[in-house]
Amino acid sequence: MPHHHFYESELEDIRRKLVLMGEKCIDLVRLSFQALEQNDLSIAQRVLGMDDEIDELELHIDNESVRYLSLRAPVATDVRMLTVCMKGCHDLERVGDEASSIAKRVRRLARQGRPIGDLAGIPQMTEMVIGILRKSIDSFVNESYDEALSLPEIDRKVDDLNRSNYDILMSRSADDSKYVPIGIELIFISKSLERIGDHAVNIGEEVAYLIKAKNISHTDLVRRAPTRS
Amino acid sequence: MATVTATEPTLTEHTAPSPDPSYIQVKNFSFWYGSSQVIHDQTFSMPKQKVTAFIGPSGCGKSTLLRCFNRMNDLIDGIHHEGDITVGGESIFNPMLEVISLRKRVGMVFQKYNPFPKSIYENIVYSLRVAGRNKKSELDEVVERSLRNAALWDEVKDRLQDSALGLSGGQMQRLCIARAIANQPEILLMDEPCSALDPVATGKIEELIHQLKRQFTIVIVTHNMQQAARVSDRTAFFYLGKLIEYDETQKIFMNPEKPQTEDYVSGRFG
């Protein structure tokens, strides 16, 4: 019968904080898109405030992980859990930054004082990015290797959408020089969403490492873009 | 929306305050075996209902100091001390104080488990019988409470009259802890309580220490760095009879002030 140590609750606490951070990141991405779609500066402001909470969680997870490594002499799965939490919280912190960046661009777009118009593939891309983030957190919670490995394929579709957004927005800017300031902001927003997809894939790689004790980064299992001929 | 907040307290207790941060006070304390001085004018205090770990290489004076707290060293010829040690503000060297009453308040568990060659039951009630307390209902109650507190009750409740010497090593050490807490002391001294135990029994004793600190103030001497890190709230590092560094355990193991402490806790000493 396995014997449980009294301090294991500390590791569980770190794990729960990472899940919480993931949930908050999903909320943040959703809100940043709402701010864009509804041209709502108060929502944009809320996103920036919530990003501070995410930064605080990152610090907490980092500090508690170092404390656990120093005081509890963890081995095997426990060590991998800690490295996953430490690396995962950095990816999630970057997700928070990208969502903040979107919120800031919403503010700049508002200052242009003209309607933004059609958002190209950004709404669809946001849904996909929220989906891939959700899957990355679920794969961690359920410790599902298959779910973790399903992320790169979704990410490739996100990348495709980003490229198509770029083409659409560049073409609009070429047709109408007054559209250029809007087009540029939307291209950057699309790029932020694309980066969030990458961070979700990173988390999936970490989860795979947690489960199989094998680092699959930079292998064919997680190849992000199809090989170009 | 996520409902848990970032500032939600953790499930762990590593920040809970002590009811008395200066419960045991060591004041300008020096100690000699004959002409050999083993503790040099040390002053520091230990908190109530916390675990304080003494670490340091052999011969650094940590076990000697531990044995001062219940005046076990009085049994050795040629010893003398200077300075004072107080528990709850009261000097343990007060000439009016009976050593026996001090030892009732300050229990001790040794490196090698040392149950009496008697039954499990009689091991625990021994000190009560010596004090003339023989009422069966009271003794039964003390036996059950002590064994439960020592996390041994479930394993031995059906064989209390069996010889204590038939228990496993880990069980014998927990029996010694049960015996030490039978009289409800305020302080529990532990001198390398796990050094003769396997990792499973060690884990159980560590868990027990974690439970017991809610009721008792614990001072533990250990050579096992990981054990000090896991079980203690504060850690004192001794070297050549001097306290080199004394702080919160996480400070000692994560970012000690003195290079000597870091060398010792990371095993690079000497």
User: For A18, which residue in chain B has the nearest alpha carbon?
Assistant: B6
In chain A, residues with a C-beta closer than 8 Å to the C-beta of B5 are: 53
The whole-angstrom distance between B267's CA and the closest CA on chain A is 13
pLDDT score for A223: 67
User: Is there a contact between B92 and B168 (Cβ–Cβ < 8 Å)?
Assistant: no
- pLDDT for A59: 97
SS3 label, residue B93? coil
Sheet holding B90-91, edge to edge: B36-46, B24-33, B79-87, B90-91
CB contact under 8 A, A5 and B249: no
Closest Cβ–Cβ partner in A6, A12, A24 for B210: A6
| Residue A120 belongs to domain with CATH number | 1.20.58.220
Angle (CA) A219 A224 A226, round 5°: 100
Give the domain range for residue B220: 24-265
What residues of A are in contact with residue B227 (Cβ under 8 Å)? none
* Residues of chain B contacting A27 with CB distance shorter than 8 Å: 1-2
Chain A environment of B14 (Cβ under 8 Å): 10
Mark yes or no for CB contact B230/A71 under 8 Å. yes
Taking the Cβ of residue A13 and every Cβ of chain B, the question of whether any pair is shorter than 8 Å is answered with yes
Residue A226 pLDDT: 55
Does A72 sit within 8 Å of B229, measured CB to CB? yes
Query: Cβ separation of A6 and B200 shorter than 8 Å?
Result: no
Q: What is the mean pLDDT of residues A218-229?
A: 63
Residues of A in contact with B12 (CB under 8 A): 7, 9-10, 13
Q: What is the pLDDT of residue A6?
A: 82
User: What residues in chain B have per-residue pLDDT under 50?
Assistant: 1-12
The residue of A71, A78, A89 whose CB has the most chain B CBs within 10 angstroms, and thus the best one to mutate to test that interface, is A71
Q: pLDDT tens across A95-106, in order?
A: 999 999 999 999
A-chain CB neighbours of B208 within 8 Å are none
User: Does the residue B235 lie in any domain?
Assistant: yes
| Contact yes or no for B203 and A3 at CB 8 A | yes
Q: What is the mean pLDDT of residues A131-159?
A: 96
Rounded Cα gap, residues A58 and A36, in angstroms: 26
In a domain, B29, yes or no: yes
Mark yes or no for CB contact A23/B2 under 8 Å: yes
**Does the beta carbon of A51 lie under 8 angstroms from any beta carbon of chain B?**
no
Q: Is residue B7 part of a domain?
A: no
pLDDT at A120: 93
Please state the domain count of chain B: 1
Cα of B175 to nearest chain A Cα, Å: 20
**In this predicted model, what pLDDT tens digit does every residue of A170-191 receive, in sequence order?**
999 999 999 999 999 999 999 9
pLDDT at B29: 97
- Residue from the list B2, B211, B229 with its beta carbon closest to the beta carbon of A70: B229
The reply to whether A114 falls in a domain is yes
Residues of A with CB below 8 A from B211's CB? 6
The span from the CA of A204 to the CA of A198, in Å, is: 10
For residue A200, the tally of other CB atoms under 10 A from its CB is 29
Q: Provide, rounded to the nearest whole percent, the portion of chain A with pLDDT above 90.
A: 84
The string of pLDDT tens digits covering residues B209-222 is 998 999 999 999 99
Q: Is A67 on the interface with B (CB under 8 A)?
A: yes
Residue A108 lies in domain: 8-222
Q: Is A79 exposed, middle or buried (0-12, 13-18, 19+ CB in 10 A)?
A: middle
**B187-191 sheet: strands from edge to edge:** B106-109, B187-191, B217-221, B51-55, B234-239, B242-248
The pTM assigned to this predicted structure is 0.82
Is there a domain that residue A142 lies in?
Answer: yes
Residue of B nearest to A27 (CA): B1
Residue B177 lies in a domain: yes
Most B CBs within 10 A among A4, A7, A18, A53, hence the mutation to make, goes to A7
- Kindly state the DSSP code that residue B10 receives in the 8-state scheme: P
Q: What is the pLDDT of residue B3?
A: 45
Is residue B42 within 8 Å of residue B29, measured between CB atoms? yes
Q: How far is A219 from chain B (nearest CA, A)?
A: 34
Q: Which helix (H) or strand (E) holds A156?
A: helix A151-175
B2 to chain A, minimum CA–CA distance in Å? 6
Distance in Å from the first CA to the final CA of chain A: 55
Supply the mean pLDDT for chain A: 93
Q: Chain B residues with CB inside 8 Å of A62's CB? A: none
- Which CATH number goes with the domain that contains B235? 3.40.50.300
Instruction: Taking the CA atoms of B143, B147, B149 and B150 in sequence, report the sign of the dihedral they define.
Output: positive
Pairing of strands B242-248, B79-87: unpaired
Is A229 a domain residue? no
Count CB pairs under 8 A between chains A and B. Answer: 59
Q: What is the pLDDT of residue A220?
A: 77
**Residue B167 is assigned to a structural domain of this protein:** yes
Q: Please state the domain count of chain A.
A: 1
Rounded to an integer, the average pLDDT of A18-29 is 97
* Better pLDDT: A62 or B7: A62
Query: How many Å apart are CA A133 and CA A25, to the nearest integer?
Result: 8
Which chain B residues are within 8 Å of A66, Cβ to Cβ? Answer: 254
Q: What is the pLDDT of residues A146-165, one digit of tens each?
A: 999 999 999 999 999 999 99
In a domain, A227, yes or no: no
Does residue B2 contact residue A27 with C-beta atoms inside 8 Å? yes
Q: Is A203 a domain residue?
A: yes
Residue of A nearest to B248 (CA): A71
How many angstroms separate the CA of residue A7 from the nearest CA in chain B? 7
Does residue A20 lie in a domain region? yes
